[in-house]
């Protein structure tokens, strides 16, 4: 009897709750319904939000820059090589952007770096993202409208770790010469990452890959992030949100309960009631007046 009670408690829990994590908008799902669902479940995050947050921290990169700052008197060629390696290692975190600006500014004050074009380019690169004037830099204005038209699947553009919502009013000037990491984020498609100048980026033709496609009862996912695989969900509609990690079987139990709820719920209540009565059959009920 105890096992039966647990079974029906599990039924009710399975049909009501959602695990917290990242929610992927399945191909064909309504964007409005998807956003409404996220608003109703604040513990859950959109795919684009999750991906943008991941690029906000890079402890290893920040530690490498800190070590360089402690050894600014070393060989200039070695310093430039180390800075270039870090500059090309991945998206620069907000901390790294500030650190790199301070380092390059100090180096440009030295006579042996004053006219170094590589240090100047690195300095100009981070200025725009930090909203620092770029009077002495060759700059270009990012055309967000053109990006939205060219890659309509994307909802967010990341330049290094700075995120810009496509469709919103944005203003950004960046270096014309510097190499940036550009990332197109979407709630339906895999990230598109490109490293190069802004002009090179705008000349690309990207083929975006869907994250989840298929139907509620049978779908396929194209996800490599272990956190999303383990705790993420696929949104098809407000009545169908499936765990990513078990697309074929995760929905079978819940669907069975939903399909047979006309008799499952009443039967469950009867069993629970019967179990309570059975457990009290040899006991005396005493009611004490207050």
pLDDT at 57: 85
Residue 65's closest CA among 54, 53, 79? 79
More confident residue, 286 or 152: 152
- Structural domain boundaries in the chain: 2-46+210-278, 59-136, 141-202
DSSP 270: H
Sorted by sequence, the CB contacts under 8 Å of residue 223 that are 6+ apart come out as 24, 211, 212, 229, 232, 244
**What are the CA-CA distances from residue 141 to residues 52, 124, 149, 170, 286 (Å)?**
22, 14, 17, 10, 81
- Report helix, strand or coil for 204: coil
Q: Is the pLDDT of residue 24 over 80?
A: yes
- pLDDT value at position 282? 53
Distance separating alpha carbons of residues 102 and 110, to the nearest angstrom = 13
Q: Is the pLDDT of residue 284 over 60?
A: no
Q: Residues 215-273: pLDDT tens digits?
A: 998 999 999 999 999 999 999 999 999 999 865 544 444 554 555 555 545 555 555 55
Q: What is the pLDDT of residues 43-99, one digit of tens each?
A: 999 999 999 999 888 899 999 998 888 887 777 888 888 888 888 888 999 999 999
Q: In this predicted structure, which of 23-37, 140-154, 258-272 has the lowest mean pLDDT? A: 258-272
Per-residue confidence (pLDDT) for residue 204, from 0 to 100: 95
d(CA 173, CA 141): 4
Q: Which residues contact 132 (CB under 8 A, 6 or more apart)?
A: 101, 126
The rounded distance, in Å, linking the Cα atoms of 211 and 29 is 12
Per-residue HEC secondary structure of 75-128 comes to CHHHHHHHHHHHHCCCCCCHHHHHHHHHHHHHHHCCCCCCCCHHHHHHHHHHHH
pLDDT at 286: 43
pTM: 0.76
Roughly how many angstroms between the first and final C-alpha of the chain, as a whole number? 34
Q: How confident is the model at residue 194 (pLDDT cuts 50, 70, 90)?
A: very high
Residue-by-residue DSSP string for 13-74:
HHHH---SSEEEE-TT--HHHHHHHHHH-TT-EEHHHHHHHHTT--HHHHHHHHHHHTTTTS
- For residue 198, what are its two tokens? 């802004």
The mean per-residue pLDDT over the stretch 119-124 comes to: 94
Element (H, E) at 7: helix 2-16
Residue 7 or residue 29, greater confidence:
29
């Amino acid at each position: 009897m105890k096992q039966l009670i647990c079974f029906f408690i599990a039924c009710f829990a399975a049909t009501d709750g959602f695990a917290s994590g990242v929610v992927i908008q399945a191909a064909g799902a309504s964007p409005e319904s998807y956003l409404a669902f996220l608003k109703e479940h604040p513990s859950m995050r959109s795919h684009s939000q999750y991906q943008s947050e991941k690029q906000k921290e890079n402890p290893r990169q920040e530690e490498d820059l800190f070590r360089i700052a402690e050894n600014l008197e070393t060989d200039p060629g070695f310093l430039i090589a180390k800075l270039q390696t870090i500059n090309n290692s991945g998206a620069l975190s907000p901390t790294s952007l500030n650190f790199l600006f301070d380092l390059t500014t100090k180096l440009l004050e030295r006579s042996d770096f004053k006219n170094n074009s590589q240090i100047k380019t690195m300095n100009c690169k981070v200025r725009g993202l930090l909203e620092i004037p770029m009077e002495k830099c060759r700059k270009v204005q990012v055309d967000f409208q053109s990006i939205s038209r060219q890659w309509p699947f994307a909802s967010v553009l990341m330049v290094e770790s700075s995120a810009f919502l496509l469709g919103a009013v944005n203003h950004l000037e960046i270096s014309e010469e510097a190499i940036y990491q550009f990332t197109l984020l979407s709630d339906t498609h895999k990230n598109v990452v490109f490293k190069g100048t802004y002009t090179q980026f705008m000349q690309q033709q990207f083929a975006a890959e869907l994250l989840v496609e298929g139907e509620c009862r049978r779908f396929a996912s194209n996800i490599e992030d272990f956190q999303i695989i383990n705790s993420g969900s696929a949104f098809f509609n407000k009545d169908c949100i499936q765990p990513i990690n078990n697309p074929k079987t995760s929905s079978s139990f819940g669907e069975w309960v939903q399909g047979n709820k006309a008799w499952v719920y009443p039967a469950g209540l009867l069993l629970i009631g019967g179990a309570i009565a059975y457990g009290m059959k040899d006991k005396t009920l005493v009611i004490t007046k207050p």
